[in-house]
Each structure stands twice: as structure tokens, then as C-alpha cells.
Structure 1
Amino acid sequence: MVKKVQLPLQTLNLTVGFMTWVILSSLMPFIKEDIAIPPEQLAWVTAIPVVLGSLLRIPLGYYANLFGARKMFLVSFIILLFPVYYISIADSFIDLMVGGLLLGVGGAIFSVGVTSLPKYYPKERHGFVNGIYGAGNLGTAISTFAAPVIASSIGWSATVQLYLLLLGAFFAINFFLGDKKEEKVKTPLFEQIKGVYKNEKMWALSLFYFITFGSFVAFTVYLPNFLVTDFGIDKVDAGMRTAGFIIVATLMRPLGGWLADRFHSLVLLMFVFAGVTGAAILLSFAPSIEWYTVGCLIIAFCTGAGNGVIFKLVPMYFHKQAGVVNGIVSAMGGLGGFFPPLMLTLLFNVTGHYAIGFMALSQVALVSFVLVIWLYFQERLDLSNQIISHTAEGLIVTDKHGTIIMVNPAFTELTGYEADEAVGKNPSMLKSGIQTKEFYRKMWKTIEETGTWQGELWNRRKDGRNYLEWLTISAIKNDAGEVQQYVGLISDMTEQKMKWSKEG
């Protein structure tokens, strides 16, 4: 029973964490009426919670494996009580900065669930499960929509204090329903980092999440104040529009995970980044509120789906180091939400508009699109190389002039020649002298006419011993019909031949 409730429980935990994480940005239109905040520093107040919420994801992901999700959520909710209360009595810019920094714990708990939940489900469901958990992003929409409405009635300070009751309630729920017997992974942190820091896939996934989740956080944090100041929209209306953006992105997350369970994840990411590129270009032209809405919704669709797809790939590529990799990737996503608001504010102060900032987003998304294509074909090449390396038959590939360009381990085992000894040489190095020149002439004539040849052939190993092989040679041609390479597949028939001789 306890294991069955972990997905809904941890999803609700994330919802509460994210609700708390965005208190400042949700209530900023109200807070700045009571606390003087210089316009050039306004972005810092809303972006500061993202810093700790990003950096803490690495240790929280690791400790979720070490101690289990139950303990990590309990500790996190206790810690969050302090900044929430401190912000509710804040009366200065410094108070907001200090309290906002500690609010980051609410965003950091994301890496706890994505590390814990895959333990309860088979691999073919990891995308959908992590997508459902990621729907806890909805917490940002709840705060963005509900907090301004409540603050209009009871004030922003009392509204913040209501979160103390929510955190206390979920501390109690996790104490009784959290899984005390969750499977633990006790690989030392240093060993996990050592095993992944040179892996280009981890850094590629970090960049992708930097764009997808970073855009989600940046728009969530920045939209309420941006819509009020730039389009003159009412504060509650701005909150509702921002909540709409969050809801769309959040609902797309489990859909993205579900699609990733059924289709190639990298192909899905191609569509994601193509969409973000186009939408950011649209926003860079400073359109009307109608076209601005269209651009934001496209980004919500694409980034939401992308978030779900990426966390299908993490446990697939990094099963043993899932905790620390989840932390690193999700931390990069959080930092992706920290920099855009500051960059947009800086560019606006310099140029008077946001066009350059949105255009920069489009170009980073375009780079990610190209990188996804490279990873897709690299993955296919890696698969081909694995097939070649694990093929039981010896494999030898030459260019059209007959120079060896590749051999596999089975070739080395059969002939005794290592790859560096064979590459750059001609296959004639293997000749035993048993076949005549006429034999080879007829063999190559057949290959020229039909593109392939099969037959028995005596060759010589590196140690000088002859062996009988069954050789298949195929000519690899381009679209114009020109030969580019020759591939030889070799099977050792020496023992079989000797066995037949004895039986004969």
C-alpha cells in the first residue's frame, strides 16, 4: 500500500514545494507597493530563489538515493518554514533577498522524486512516471493564480503565512505515508561524479533542460510583473494569464514522458527545439498581446513536453548514477530560469526593449536543435559500432583502393593482428601463398560484376600458421553506383575442415 501511494504523494510534495518556491514572484505586484525595491533590482528578488533551488538539486538528488525520499521531504519542509515566516514579516529589500534565497529549497526537492520514483516502476514506464511527477510544476500555477486573489482580500503578508499551515500538513502526511523501506543506493558521491562528468550525454541533457525548464521558470517568474508593466494588464489578470502558461506547460510534461516511452526521445526533442526557436523569434518582434500570447503558448507546449522527454533519457543513460545526474541536469534547468530574467532586464535597460533577449533564446534553442540531430546520428553510429564489436565473425573494412580502415575484435582474435597493426595495410598481408593469382583475379572479377563474392580461402595468421576461412566480400556503393568501401566477413573453418577430414 505504501509503495502504491508514492507517486501521488511525491507529486503533491513537489506541488507544495513549487508553490512555496514562487511566493515572491507571485506576490511581487503587491509586495513592491509596501517595500521600496529599485526597478533595476526587482529581477534579483524574483530570481534569487532560483539560485539555491538549482544548486541544491545536486546534493538532494544524491541524498535521496542514500537516505530515501521520505527523509529528504521531511527535512525540506522543516527548512522551508523559516524563510516563509521571515518573508511574511519582511519590511526591506534585504529581508526579501535573504528569505528568497532559502525559498530555493522548495525548488530543489524536484531532484528527490525523479531519483526515487523510477525505483518503483519498470523502465518502459519511467518517462510517463517522471512526467506525472513533474506535473507538480503545477504548484507554480496555483501560487501564481491563487496568491494574488487571496492577497487582494487579506494582504500579502497573511497570504504568505498561510503557507506555514500547508508545509506543516505535508510534513505530517509524509511522516506517516512516506516509504521507510525505499531501496537505497550507497555509491559514494565522488565515484558517481567521476563516472559521469566526462560523459557528453550528461552535458547535452543539461543544456537541453537549461532551455526547456529554464524557459518555464523564467516565464513563470517574469510574466506577472512583465504583463503588468509592459502591457498595462491588471495584476489579477496577469496572474491568471501566467497560470494559464504554467498549466499548459505542466500538462504537457506527462504527455512528453508518455510519448518518450513510445517514440524515439531524440526525435521528439527535435520538434521541441524547432518550436521554441520559432516562438522565440516571434516574441523578439515585440508583437501585440494576441501574438505574444501565441508565442508564449507555443513555448509552453514545447518546453513542457521537452521536460518530460529529458527525464525519460536520464535514467535510461545513467541507471547507476541516476541520483547525481538527475541533480546536475535539474540544477542546470533551474539556473536556466535564473539568467533569462536578469538578461532581459539588463537588455531592456540598455536598449529599451526585449527583442534581443528573445532572439538570444531562439539562437540557443537552434543550437540545441542541431545538437539533438548530432546525438541522434551519433547514437545510431554507436549502435552500429557495438554490433560490429560484438559480432562473432571477423570483420575487415577497406577503402576502394584496398587499404584497411577498420577491423573488429573478432578479426584480431582470429588473425593475431591488433587493429593498429592492420589499419593502413592491405589485406594481402594475410596471404598464405596457397591460392594462385588466377584465383584472386576471378574473385575480384566476380565482385566487380555482382558486387559480392563468397568462398573458402586459406590465409596466414600473424604467428605464421595457416587457417581456412569462409570469406564473404561485399562492395559498398554510393547513390551513383561507385564503390566506396569493401567489407569482408570472416569465419574460421579450420577445425571444422579437420573434423571433416577425420570423418572422411
Structure 2
Amino acid sequence: MKLSELKTSGHPKTLFSSFLYFDVSFMIWVILGALGVFITQDFGLSPSQKGMIVAVPILAGSVFRIVLGILTDRFGPKKTAILGMSITTIPLLWGLFAGNTIPELYMIGILLGVAGASFAVALPMASRWYPPHLQGVAMGIAGAGNSGTLIATLFGPRLAENFGWHVTMGLAIIPLLITFFVFILLAKDAPTQPAPQPLANYFKVFAHKDTWFFCLLYSVTFGGFVGLSSFLSMFFVDEYGLSSVQAGDFVTLCVAAGSFFRPVGGYISDKIGGVKVLSFLFIGVAVCMLGVSQLPPLFAITALLFVGMMCLGMGNGAVFQLVPQRFQKEIGMVTGIVGAAGGIGGFFLPNILGTLKELTGSYSSGFITFSCIALAAIAILIIANFSWRKTWNIKDGAVKI
């Protein structure tokens, strides 16, 4: 496989458009986490409330991913993406002009979930343009749009410090509008877009156990990535006394590892198989989170989080090297379901960290719990791999797992 094949075997403009759409949408999806320190100052939130504020958009995104996944398969990803971006302007305008009570924040968070659901549109859009042996790297490039978190954590606190968090939410409309018009001009639905089916047909994938294997694995990799991305700013402020801007910079460094190594995970998985890659990555996550639980000095914990987030990001790419090998025609729906599971994992992690901090007075127990979850994922992977090698077409090399 040569990377130059991406230019000749698919549609580079659509691949770029998918990345850009997911990138800006992801930035907006996690914006409450990036602005969490400022919101906390305004509302005086408890640790558990902090976890809930950043977790609500993630949970809402999980639900909307299934909805947008169905729309993607039924009406095409381009129309679905345009609808999603249009709806995303609503919570940004709400945050700009109102958002003065906690219930309003929750409602804004729910609507921000539509931005997070872009995952179920961008990845199928890219996937359908490329052959099986390029799925890992193509899905990795489109999925690297989760680097939008970098923009949120790097610029969000700085803008909020100067203009306030309300204005910062309004400013996010600018890149969204630019993306909207670029997407309309460049993106194109693949000719392999399947014909619309009766609604009941889309839910048949729930009956496949492979769907649930992918859900469990992605709830750890993506759930860990987005959960930590949303919560670490408040963690660094609470535990290490950093300013909101300093905390944002440290989080940006960690998020960069997870975002930019996602295509690497997909590329390596194309070469040796996603199962092998995931096996090593889950071990890496477990070790790093156990180290983080000791709450070492700032330099050490940043290094551990950097490596841990890198493993999670590569794991995201590895999981989605496997998904299209198993589900090609139903890729939109399955991406929505698996993405929803990832969002649910991301919803629980901030709540676990915040609640255990409130109960025990320390973040240690929360990170130990996450380390144990990563180890449990290895057991799930072993069971899944045993099943896949019996049921997938592996012997003739048609499928690389």
C-alpha cells in the first residue's frame, strides 16, 4: 500500500471536506469542556457538576450519532452534514446571548451533541470512496478531525479570558460558516452510496454480535480520548493549581498526541491488523493511567497523559480499520452505533473522575478505575478475535485483522 494511492483510488476533496467538517464540529462539541474553568467560576460548580457539564454534550452526541448515521445511509452524507451544521448554530447562538442558568447549560450541551454526531457522517463519507486496503488510513485521516479539540483547548481559554465565555461561543460560528461553504463546494457523495432501505432494515445491525464488540472496544478508546479531553483542563487547575490558559496548553499537548496519531493507528492496522495493534495499545493505556493515578509531578503526569492519549488515539484508528471490513453497506448506521458507544464511554469517564474525587477527595481512584477498564478491554478483544477468525474471510487475505 502506498499513500499516493489516496489520490488515485478515491476522492481527495471529499476526504479533506470530511476531515474539515469533523474537525470544526469536534471543536464545537467539546467547547464546554474547554471553557469549563470559566463556567465553573460563574456558577460555582461542585466536582460532580463539573463532570456533568462536560459530559452532557458527549452523551447527547451518542444519541445523535445513531440518528445521523441512519440519515447518512438513507439520504447521503452531504445532505446530512449540511443539516447537522445548520442545527449546530443554535447552541452557539444560545450560549452567546443567554446561557445564564445551569438548566440552560444542559440544554446547550444537548444541542452541541449534534456537532459530535458529525462522526457518523464524516467517516462513512470518506470510507465509501476508498478500497478495503486503504480503509485504515482513509478513516484515520477523516477521523483525525478529532484534533478540533486542540483548537478548543488552545484558543478557547485565551478568548474567554479576554472576551468572556459567552462571546467565545459566538465566535465559534465563524469557522463553522467557513466549513459550511467549503463543504458545499468540495464534498461529493460516493457513487457506491447504497439505495435507501426501509427504516427497520437499518436496525438489523443491532442483532450482530460484532456490532457490540466494536461498541465495547470503541467505548474505551474514543470514550477515554474525548472524556479526558473534556475533563483534563479542570483536573490540571484543581490538582496542580495551573491557570485556565496554562491548563489549556497542557491539555492541548495531550490531545495532539491522540488526534494526530489516529491515522498512524489506522495505517499500522492496514499493515498488520487492527487486533494486534489494539492489544498493545490497551496495555499501554492501562500502564499510563495507573501511573497517572499516583498523581506524580506535573512533568511526569503530562508525559504519562501524552503517551496514554496517543495510545487511545491510535486505538480509535485501529477500531475503524476493522469496522469497514465487517460492515461496508451498513457503514453509516454502524459508524453511528459504534460512535455512540464511544460517546457513552466519554460521558461516564468525566462523571467517574468527578464523582470519585467528590467521594474520596482524590482523583487517584478515578484513574485506577480507568486503568482496570483498559485491562478489561483486552479480555473483550481476545473473545472478539476468537469469534472473528472463525466467521470472517481471513484465509485468502481478503480481510486483515
Q: Distance in 1 between matches of 2:77 and 2:211?
A: 23
Classify the secondary structure of the residue corresponding to 1:319: coil
Tell me whether 1:22 sits opposite 2:38 in the alignment. no
Aligned residue pairs total 386
Tell me whether 1:222 sits opposite 2:231 in the alignment. yes
- 1:405 corresponding residue in structure 2: none
Distance 1:283 1:38, change over 3 A: closer
Tell me whether 1:193 sits opposite 2:200 in the alignment. no
Tell me whether 1:213 sits opposite 2:222 in the alignment. yes
- 1:76 corresponding residue in structure 2: 84
Which structure shows the higher strand fraction? 1
Tell me whether 1:41 sits opposite 2:45 in the alignment. no
- 1:288 corresponding residue in structure 2: 297
Classify the secondary structure of the residue corresponding to 1:353: coil
Opposite residue 142 of structure 1, the aligned amino acid is I
Deviations 1:323-370 (A, max 9, x none): 211111110001111001111111111111122222221222112112
Runs of at least 5 residues in structure 1 that lack an aligned partner in the other structure: 388-504
Once the two structures are superposed, the pairs formed by residues 381-460 of structure 1 within 5 Å of their partners are: 381-382=390-391
Deviations 1:210-247 (A, max 9, x none): 00000101111110011001110121110011011111
Q: Distance in 1 between matches of 2:160 and 2:391?
A: 56
- 2:349 corresponding residue in structure 1: 340
Q: Contact conserved, 2:18 with 2:123, CA < 8 A, in 1? A: no
1:384: how far off?
A: 9.8
1:192: how far off?
A: 3.2
1:96: how far off?
A: 1.2
Classify the secondary structure of the residue corresponding to 1:187: coil
- 2:179 corresponding residue in structure 1: 170
TM-score normalised per structure 1: 0.73
Tell me whether 1:57 sits opposite 2:75 in the alignment. no
- 1:9 corresponding residue in structure 2: 17
Opposite residue 251 of structure 2, the aligned amino acid is T
Q: Distance in 2 between matches of 1:384 and 1:209?
A: 23
Deviations 1:52-78 (A, max 9, x none): 111111121121122122111111111
TM-score normalised per structure 2: 0.91
Q: Distance in 2 between matches of 1:197 and 1:273?
A: 25
Distance 1:288 1:5, change over 3 A: same
Once the two structures are superposed, the pairs formed by residues 370-389 of structure 1 within 5 Å of their partners are: 370-382=379-391
Q: Contact conserved, 1:77 with 1:167, CA < 8 A, in 2? A: yes
1:381: how far off?
A: 4.3
Opposite residue 182 of structure 2, the aligned amino acid is I
Q: Distance in 1 between matches of 2:233 and 2:275?
A: 33
Q: Distance in 1 between matches of 2:372 and 2:60?
A: 27
- The correspondence for 1:324, drawn from 333, 337, 342, is 333
Which structure shows the higher helix fraction? 2
Tell me whether 1:269 sits opposite 2:278 in the alignment. yes
Deviations 1:368-427 (A, max 9, x none): 11222333344444479999xxxxxxxxxxxxxxxxxxxxxxxxxxxxxxxxxxxxxxxx
- The correspondence for 1:117, drawn from 126, 129, 145, is 126
Q: Contact conserved, 2:70 with 2:202, CA < 8 A, in 1? A: no
Classify the secondary structure of the residue corresponding to 1:25: helix
Opposite residue 7 of structure 1, the aligned amino acid is L
Tell me whether 1:233 sits opposite 2:236 in the alignment. no
Opposite residue 239 of structure 2, the aligned amino acid is D
Q: Of the two, which has the highest radius of gyration?
A: 1
Q: Contact conserved, 2:290 with 2:371, CA < 8 A, in 1? A: yes
